[in-house]
Chain A
Amino acid sequence: MNSKAYILVLISLVLILGAGFAVGDKNVPEATMLWGGKAFAAPAPGNDGTKLRTLDDIADKRVGVYSGTVHDAFVAENYPQAKIFRYDSTADMILALKSNKIDVAMLDYTSAKVILKNPSNNDIGILTDDALTLPLGIGFNKNNPALREKFNNFLREIKSDGTYEEMYNRWFENDPEKAVMPEIVNKGTGQKIILGVAVADLPYVAYVNGEYVGFDIEMVKRFAAHEELPLEIITMEFSSLVAALSSGKVDMIADGIAITEERSKQIDFSDSYVDFKTAVLALKKNIASYEDEQAGAAVTIPFLQNIADRFHNNLIHEKRYLLIVDGLKVTAIISLVSVVFGTLLGALICFMRMSKNKILVNISRFYISIMRGTPVLVLLMIIFYVVFASVNVNPVIAAIIAFGANFAAYVSEMFRTSIESVDKGQKEAGIAAGFTRVQTFIYIIMPQALRHVLPVYKGEFISLVKMTSVVGYIAVQDLTKASDIIRSRTYDAFFPLIMVAVLYFLLSWSLALVLDYIGFRTDPKRKRRTRLQQV
């Protein structure tokens, strides 16, 4: 116990020191914000004396794009020499830019404006703001033209009655950070519609004070209210949006989605509701037009003040701790229920594997080899997008099934080896004494097998807890996804990531303690003293 406490203290120390470094770095004007550190940075474009002047200068550079967006295809087509780095969140892309992992970042202009307004991003500038212009639309399932038709009618209606203009001013013209979502009353009597979003960032979709906000959100909420349909919003990776829609997981998708030919093959789009401009961002020091601004940009903020600010910004501001708490709950629920489900299923598989029936043995062997040979993330997506394609299933349940099924394969083999490691004579002694086969297993074999299996079982349990961090792929907001969302708002990698790491550690550690306690309880020699006194 004591040694574990020491380890905790040590880890906290390392974390604090890490924070210090990160902050220290930030005060040096041209340093990168985080771990990137100057020593590791690849040669930036500025180093060879040529600064970025026009869009064509990115031709041989490292370009960051949002994965699955039109920018991806655009860069690949127009600048085949450029190296493309794909990101799943704006925050990751901006962090990469700041730490010199990429030279430029391409993203939608309005989002870029929001990013540049954030004081922590004042080392970033705009190279160009009209790289690519595309219409944006709301996505609908091809099998549901009626809903799309209703939406198009609604869009025409709000454009004509001035609502659209009001919304446009709120989210695009004025500062979207300061925008306040109007109250939208939805009587919600009809059939529920599900909207899929990626929470890319303002002005389209963001998550503020525990609520979804943004232009797209307001528009879809108004639409739902107009049609009196209850609305549910679920979050997933941007790159999974189209797949989720075409497999029927969601009814609509929105998040600044550009209408492209390729996407139109998979899904239907509404009429365009706004045009989307592309900005190309780079560090100011690498952009020719920012040369004069260089000096004196940095302001020194006291160390403690900085820590406090960032803590406030990442946790307190906009009630972001709620995200973490909810995420932790989801992670804990998925882990625990999967373990229970997986253990029961594993026991069943183990029983089949050890039975004398050839068919059962082969089924279980096939199951085990399939589960062990498939990445759990792929399994997770297959279960959600393929197996339950036409069934409306809560993604948390899909996650529990996927992780439980995977866990079962591993623990069934653990159970089998531990049962087989119990000496054959034990079973014979039980049978000869007049126990039935089941009684022999319960009273004699199982208690001994359990002692063997506990240590490995504990390891597998902990690895399951950590494995659940991929559930974000099927639109579950777990602990990891919560940190992604916070990062997308604060552009700070340090606090959310470290905090989540610590939470995962604490979660696995406390679960391991519970198992240790069970191991202690089942140690037969523990009882010796108390038993002696009684007899």
Chain B
Amino acid sequence: MSVFRIEHLSKSFGELTVLKDITTTIEKGEIISIIGPSGTGKSTLLRCLNLLEMPSGGRIFFNDLDLLARTTNITKIRQRIGMVFQSFNLYNHLSVLDNLTLGPVKLLRKSKAEAELKAMELLKLVGLAEKAASFPDELSGGQKQRVAIARCLAMEPEVILFDEPTSALDPTMTSEVLAVIRRLAKEGMTMVIVTHEMEIARNISTRVFYMDEGFIYEEGTPQQIFENPQREKTREFINRVRRYTYRITSKDYDLYAMNAEIEAFCEKHLLSRRICHNVLLLAEEVLGLQRDFSDITLSLAYSEKDDRLEFIFESAGEPANPLEEGEREDDLGIILIKSRCDSIQYKYENGKNILLCGVKG
């Protein structure tokens, strides 16, 4: 019996569709990492699992119980699904200890003494027993998040949902929280973690969902996803590729605006002056060889992981490699282009000439 079974789940906010047709299952004991670029619905998917967001379509089963059925008492079920937030959301008016006991006492009808005993145990587990009497505003971010995790555990949940648990933390605090999550993993807790922290996805989780464009674009074990991603966008994401695109539709394009944007892109990603200079030159020379300006797309793709910049030039029209020698009297442009690249590929696809150049550093 799977903990979550999701069938054709979709969610839209007004006109904006965030999730489209997601179908998957999450088994007991699994640790799922959901990764992907911002704004692709990772958090929305997570928040649909305990109905903090109402799905627009599809079905979600928790232990084979249809969450969206009228007869389902969702508040009762939420007591069995813990949730940890990016912004901690500790109850500000209660001490750390009371944060842990409020739920068990009011919802699980435990006695105050029993709840406190359990709470102290959990605080020891996350290393914060001495902060029991402190208030949330007296804790550091990492401490707050550990208390939040302990607060979840106090309800003895079957699964914990983590919504970017370390995004608001600096590296030291992040490792405090990661250590706690790792410990839970060892104890076999079922967890679903939305994260930007590749370290969690790679080393803690049993399965990784790569989300893009509102659905699970690729999923697999951490090895598959991180070492041998099958699909283009996954690859780009794993290699931390940053993109810049400029479109030209007429001969009278604004060269200076384009150059300024390319420079800004280089500056943003801390590329060297040399690379920047090479890219500008490449762009100018390739455009200089071009005759048809009706539909040109010029892109830069920078992989942070490999520290490599690719220059991609696409133009519509008849198949024609602009770099083919002998067609023109003056091949100086071609020589210049070649001198700035350490690899050049040409292909013709879908009625487009595509030129792929690795820019020299």
Q: Specify whether A and B are partners.
A: yes
Q: Are A531 and B97 in contact (CB under 8 A)?
A: yes
Q: Which of A165-173, A290-298, A429-437, A463-471 contacts B (4 or more CB under 8 A)?
A: A429-437
The answer to whether residues A451 and B93 also contact, given A428-B52, A432-B83 and a CB cut-off of 8 A, is: yes
Asked if B91 is at the interface of the complex by the 8 Å CB criterion, the answer is yes
- For A425, A432, A434, A524, the residue with the greatest tally of chain B CB atoms inside 10 Å of its CB is A434
Per the bound structure, the CA–CA distance linking A328 and B52 in Å amounts to 54
Q: Which residues of A contact B116 (CB under 8 A)?
A: 535
Per the bound structure, the CA–CA distance linking A429 and B155 in Å amounts to 13
Asked if A426 is at the interface of the complex by the 8 Å CB criterion, the answer is yes
Q: Which residues of B contact A432 (CB under 8 A)?
A: 50, 52, 78, 81, 83, 85
Distance (Å) between the CB of B199 and the closest chain A CB? Answer: 25
Distance (Å) between the CB of B221 and the closest chain A CB? Answer: 29
The answer to whether residues A535 and B85 also contact, given A433-B79, A443-B102, A443-B106 and a CB cut-off of 8 A, is: no
Q: Are B52 and A448 in contact (CB under 8 A)?
A: no
Q: Are A532 and B133 in contact (CB under 8 A)?
A: yes
Q: Are A425 and B75 in contact (CB under 8 A)?
A: no
Nearest-neighbor residue (CB-CB) of B120 within chain A: A535
Asked if A300 is at the interface of the complex by the 8 Å CB criterion, the answer is no
Contact with A along B108-130 (1 / 0, CB 8 A): 00000000100010000000000
Q: Are A428 and B75 in contact (CB under 8 A)?
A: no
Q: Which residues of A contact B95 (CB under 8 A)?
A: 524, 527-528, 531
Q: Are A448 and B50 in contact (CB under 8 A)?
A: no
- For B50, B83, B91, B116, the residue with the greatest tally of chain A CB atoms inside 10 Å of its CB is B91
Asked if B226 is at the interface of the complex by the 8 Å CB criterion, the answer is no
Q: Which residues of B contact A535 (CB under 8 A)?
A: 97, 116, 120, 132-133
Distance (Å) between the CB of A350 and the closest chain B CB? Answer: 19
Per the bound structure, the CA–CA distance linking A21 and B151 in Å amounts to 68
Cβ-neighbour of A434 out of B88, B90, B132, B155 (below 8 A): B155
Asked if A307 is at the interface of the complex by the 8 Å CB criterion, the answer is no
Asked if A178 is at the interface of the complex by the 8 Å CB criterion, the answer is no
Asked if A525 is at the interface of the complex by the 8 Å CB criterion, the answer is yes
Asked if B94 is at the interface of the complex by the 8 Å CB criterion, the answer is yes
Per the bound structure, the CA–CA distance linking A269 and B50 in Å amounts to 78
Per the bound structure, the CA–CA distance linking A316 and B133 in Å amounts to 58
Per the bound structure, the CA–CA distance linking A533 and B171 in Å amounts to 35
Nearest-neighbor residue (CB-CB) of A447 within chain B: B93
Asked if A439 is at the interface of the complex by the 8 Å CB criterion, the answer is yes
Q: Are A435 and B91 in contact (CB under 8 A)?
A: no
Q: Are A425 and B87 in contact (CB under 8 A)?
A: yes
Q: Which of B33-52 contact A (CB under 8 A)?
A: 50, 52
Q: Are A433 and B155 in contact (CB under 8 A)?
A: yes
Per the bound structure, the CA–CA distance linking A132 and B93 in Å amounts to 73
Contact with B along A166-205 (1 / 0, CB 8 A): 0000000000000000000000000000000000000000
- For B75, B80, B82, the residue with the greatest tally of chain A CB atoms inside 10 Å of its CB is B75
Q: Are B75 and A531 in contact (CB under 8 A)?
A: no
Q: Are B91 and A426 in contact (CB under 8 A)?
A: yes
Nearest-neighbor residue (CB-CB) of B92 within chain A: A448
Asked if A444 is at the interface of the complex by the 8 Å CB criterion, the answer is yes
Per the bound structure, the CA–CA distance linking A447 and B93 in Å amounts to 7
The answer to whether residues A528 and B133 also contact, given A432-B52, A433-B155 and a CB cut-off of 8 A, is: yes
Per the bound structure, the CA–CA distance linking A95 and B95 in Å amounts to 62
Q: Are B94 and A524 in contact (CB under 8 A)?
A: yes
Q: Is the interface of B mostly helix, strand, loop or mixed?
A: loop
**Chain A interface residue bracket vs B:** 20 to 34
Cβ-neighbour of A433 out of B107, B132, B135 (below 8 A): B107
Distance (Å) between the CB of A368 and the closest chain B CB? Answer: 28
Per the bound structure, the CA–CA distance linking A246 and B197 in Å amounts to 80
Q: Are B89 and A429 in contact (CB under 8 A)?
A: yes
Q: Are B79 and A434 in contact (CB under 8 A)?
A: yes
Cβ-neighbour of A444 out of B76, B91, B135 (below 8 A): B91
Per the bound structure, the CA–CA distance linking A532 and B116 in Å amounts to 12
Q: Which of B67-87 contact A (CB under 8 A)?
A: 75-83, 85, 87
Asked if B333 is at the interface of the complex by the 8 Å CB criterion, the answer is no
Q: Which residues of A contact B93 (CB under 8 A)?
A: 444, 447-448, 451, 524
Q: Are A525 and B135 in contact (CB under 8 A)?
A: yes
Asked if B57 is at the interface of the complex by the 8 Å CB criterion, the answer is no
The answer to whether residues A425 and B89 also contact, given A434-B76, A434-B78 and a CB cut-off of 8 A, is: yes
Distance (Å) between the CB of A316 and the closest chain B CB? Answer: 53
Q: Which residues of A contact B87 (CB under 8 A)?
A: 423, 425
Asked if B103 is at the interface of the complex by the 8 Å CB criterion, the answer is yes
Q: Which residues of B contact A444 (CB under 8 A)?
A: 91, 93, 102
The answer to whether residues A433 and B120 also contact, given A425-B85, A451-B93, A524-B95 and a CB cut-off of 8 A, is: no
Q: Which residues of A contact B79 (CB under 8 A)?
A: 433-434
Distance (Å) between the CB of A56 and the closest chain B CB? Answer: 76
Per the bound structure, the CA–CA distance linking A527 and B135 in Å amounts to 11
Q: Which residues of A contact B82 (CB under 8 A)?
A: 433
Contact with B along A444-461 (1 / 0, CB 8 A): 100110010000000000
Q: Are A429 and B85 in contact (CB under 8 A)?
A: yes
Per the bound structure, the CA–CA distance linking A426 and B99 in Å amounts to 12
Distance (Å) between the CB of A423 and the closest chain B CB? Answer: 8
Q: Are B92 and A426 in contact (CB under 8 A)?
A: yes
Can you spell out 30 A-B residue pairs with CB atoms less than 8 angstroms apart?
A423-B87, A426-B91, A428-B52, A429-B83, A429-B90, A430-B91, A431-B52, A431-B78, A432-B50, A432-B52, A432-B81, A433-B103, A433-B107, A433-B151, A434-B76, A434-B80, A434-B107, A434-B155, A435-B103, A444-B102, A448-B92, A448-B93, A524-B93, A524-B95, A527-B95, A528-B95, A528-B133, A532-B133, A535-B97, A535-B116
Residues of A at under 8 Å CB distance from B? 423, 425-426, 428-436, 439, 443-444, 447-448, 451, 524-525, 527-528, 531-532, 535
A-B CB proximity, top 8 nearest? A434-B79, A429-B89, A425-B89, A434-B78, A432-B83, A532-B133, A447-B93, A448-B93
Instruction: Other than A434-B75, A434-B77, A435-B103, give 11 A-B pairs with Cβ distance below 8 A.
Output: A431-B78, A432-B81, A432-B85, A433-B103, A434-B76, A434-B107, A439-B106, A439-B107, A524-B94, A531-B97, A535-B97
